[in-house]
Amino acid sequence: MKVGLLLAFAGRNCGGPEVYEREMVRGMLQLAPQHEYHLFCLDKRAPLVIGHDSRELVYHLLRPSSRVVSMLTTLPWEMYRTRCDIFHSLIMAPPFFPPNAIMSMACSSLICRPELYPPLVRARLRFLQHRAVPKAARIICVSRHVRDVMQETFRLPLERLPVIYPGCSRVFRFIGDEQKRAFLREKYGISYPYFLFSGRWERRKNVLGTLQAFALFKKNFKSEHKLVFTGGKSWHSAEAEEAIFRLGIQNDVADLGKTPFEELPYIYGGAEALIYASLWEGFGMPIVEGMLCGTPVITSNLSAMPEIAGGCALLVNPADTEDIASGMYRIATDEQLRGDLRSRGLKRAERFGWESSSRMTLDLYDEVMDGKMTLTGA
């Protein structure tokens, strides 16, 4: 089988979307090396991120460097020239979507919370989505929540909306206390209790709400805890940085920046809790990452987050800073609660593996191929 995969984010060092593309490709190469894989890349650094160089793997670097132009010109030509049996858009749908193609739907926020995106980004993504959805043979939904939103919005039959949970890299793991403390002290000078925010500084991740809740927690409970950030910044970062000083918590906030992937288990594991009070998520990868590291998780009570947490996290209302601050206090003062969330979270996180995700995706390719004649023009 000749498989075409559109990699829109690999090479951009942008967190979750890049991880999804990288791990899905690696998983399929390991499970089904007999296929011929054509990777259509929008960033020249994508081959370094994928980290594989074999005869089964062909990279197509799309030019020019302008993503909009290359998606409209080079990509259609390369797709026509390559004539893959299966084409799968892993995150971003192309403007020209071939019949019998598959797309992954990684989030529902564009449908449910469009105001969380800058206007031009929102318009471009909605245009691509509405062109691709009617033509896709299958739309892989990363959660039941996303599937339900897609079914309600586009009136699609369930058989076109398979749910395949993403996996989580096993680099995330439980590390002993002494090893974690030594690393954090030597590398980052961290020797204090802290809550962790992991993710991009963007509006959807509720950075402002998290900062406000932490400031309220510090004011009401006079705790020694700090708030540590790890992740890249975006258009929202200037507003968040201003809020840190306006709230008077600059001495209690530590920004580690975009930390190396292999260091994240130490940073997660050293935290008293991961604060992931996002405004909307289609999945919420940091929830699983935190659980795999044995870190108690505080997350939101809406969209896909309760589904992914599976009753093994403390749920809060992301629009209520008092509720988030109360969750921080409960974690900081209740050792039994921390232990309970830690043990249940470790067990819950075992359900999410990239081998299973990749295998289910490959099975879906076979299903589409078997029904190719009937799916044309669907």
Q: To the nearest 10°, report the CA torsion of 173, 357, 278, 270.
A: 0
How many CA within 13 A on the CB side of residue 309? 26
Q: What residue type is 230 in one-letter code?
A: T
pLDDT at 372: 56
Cα–Cα distances (Å) from 106 to 189, 217, 280, 322, in that order, read 36, 33, 12, 30
DSSP 3-state of 355: helix
**No. of H helices and E strands in the chain?**
17, 12
pLDDT at 315: 98
Q: Cα separation of 32 and 371, whole Å?
A: 20
pTM comes to 0.93
280 close to 116: Cβ distance less than 8 angstroms:
yes
pLDDT at 100: 75
pLDDT at 9: 92
Q: Which of 98, 106, 118, 163 is nearest to 375 (CA)?
A: 98
Residues of the chain where predicted confidence (pLDDT) is lower than 70: 372-378
Cα–Cα distances (Å) from 194 to 21, 218, 242, 329, 340, in that order, read 31, 12, 21, 12, 19
Sheet holding 36-41, edge to edge: 57-61, 36-41, 2-7, 86-89, 102-105, 138-141
Domains of the chain and CATH, by start: 2-167+354-375 (3.40.50.2000), 177-349 (3.40.50.2000)
How many other CB atoms are found less than 10 A from the CB of residue 91? 20
pLDDT at 377: 30
